């Protein structure tokens, strides 16, 4: 992503968040560019019953919530600390100025946003109307692919069963049942409660 030194030079400040503490809310006006320094942040929508639908999880070095900085629209989802975390933030004005002054940074951000749009399209297509096993397998494979993990290399899924359910629109019980089936078939590995693909 963007180097911390550059963000700090343009007025970047660090912010600490406790687990499940919101960074910003759906509907807020975008004021800052955010990048994870430690921990992770999830972007989610809540339904009227308080159930989350996770749009994405962002780890160390990844940015989140930046698309609306380009179009000056409200945030379409809430950003929540997935665990205790630290983020660096830079004002919207300074972020846009960085992109003008550093074309290589602009190209990097453009590629990241294009990849996210592509992945969203794939996930939407793959989970819309598909059976639970297909939905879960698609999400797990996409997470492994995004991590740049090689095909034969084991990749540890850092999500809880509940978070996988929130990403696929399924019930937690369904995720547990399907993952047990995938394990029994040898499609995933479960060691001490942790899932590997």
Query: What are the pLDDT digits (tens) for 16-66?
Result: 999 999 999 999 999 999 999 999 999 999 888 878 888 889 999 999 999
pLDDT of residue 125: 78
- CA-to-CA separations, 143 to 56, 64, 149, 164, 197, in angstroms, rounded: 10, 16, 9, 11, 10
Reported in sequence order, the residue ranges of the chain that DSSP labels E, i.e. its strands, are 13-17, 22-24, 32-38, 40-46, 52-59, 63-64, 78-81, 85-91, 156-157, 189-191, 194-196
Instruction: Note the CATH architecture for domain 132-196.
Output: Orthogonal Bundle (1.10)
Domain residue ranges in the chain? 4-119, 132-196
Q: What is the pTM of this model?
A: 0.77
Instruction: Note the CATH architecture for domain 4-119.
Output: Sandwich (2.60)
pLDDT of residue 36: 98
In which residue ranges of the chain is pLDDT below 50?
Answer: none
């Amino acid at each position: 992503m963007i180097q911390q030194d550059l963000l700090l030079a343009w007025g970047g400040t660090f912010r600490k968040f406790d687990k499940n503490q919101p960074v910003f809310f759906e509907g807020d006006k975008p004021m800052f560019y955010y990048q994870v320094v430690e921990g992770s942040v999830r972007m989610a929508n809540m339904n009227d019953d308080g159930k989350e639908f996770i749009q994405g999880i962002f780890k160390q070095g990844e940015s989140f919530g930046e698309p609306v900085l380009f179009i000056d629209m409200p945030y379409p989802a809430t950003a929540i600390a997935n665990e205790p975390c630290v983020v660096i933030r830079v004002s919207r004005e300074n972020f846009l100025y960085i992109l003008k002054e550093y074309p290589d940074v602009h190209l990097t951000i453009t590629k990241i946003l294009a990849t996210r749009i592509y992945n969203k399209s794939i996930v939407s297509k793959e989970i819309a109307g598909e059976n639970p096993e297909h939905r879960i397998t698609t999400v797990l494979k996409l997470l492994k692919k995004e991590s740049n993990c090689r095909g034969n290399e084991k990749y540890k899924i850092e999500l809880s069963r509940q978070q996988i359910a929130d990403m696929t629109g399924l019930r937690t019980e369904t995720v547990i049942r399907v993952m047990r089936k995938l394990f029994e078939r040898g499609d995933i590995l479960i060691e001490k409660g942790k899932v590997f693909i």
